[in-house]
Amino acid sequence: MRLYVWLLAVLGLFAMAVAAFVLTPHRLSGPDCSNQIVIIRGRDGAPMECVCLGGVLASCFEPGP
């Protein structure tokens, strides 16, 4: 019986830790869209030109002529 109480306590603590991680807000920092065109780093680290409309990132493409 004592083993079940300890097991239940450990599982309860684990559930609370998982719930705390899931319920906390995870925000990714977005690009600063104060200008209409911004340069950001892509997933591969290469620069990308992005167009912002109304302060929101609208489209990104590889820089070029």
17-64 pLDDT tens trace: 999 988 887 766 777 888 898 998 888 889 999 999 988 889 999 887
| Alpha-carbon distances, residue 50 vs 28, 43, 56, 60, 64 (angstroms) | 17, 14, 10, 4, 12
- Tell the residue number behind the tokens 């609208």, with chain if given: 58
**pLDDT, position 47:** 92
Q: What pLDDT is stored for residue 30 in this prediction?
A: 74
Burial of residue 15 (CB within 10 Å: 0-12, 13-18, 19+) is exposed
pTM greater than the 0.85 cutoff: no
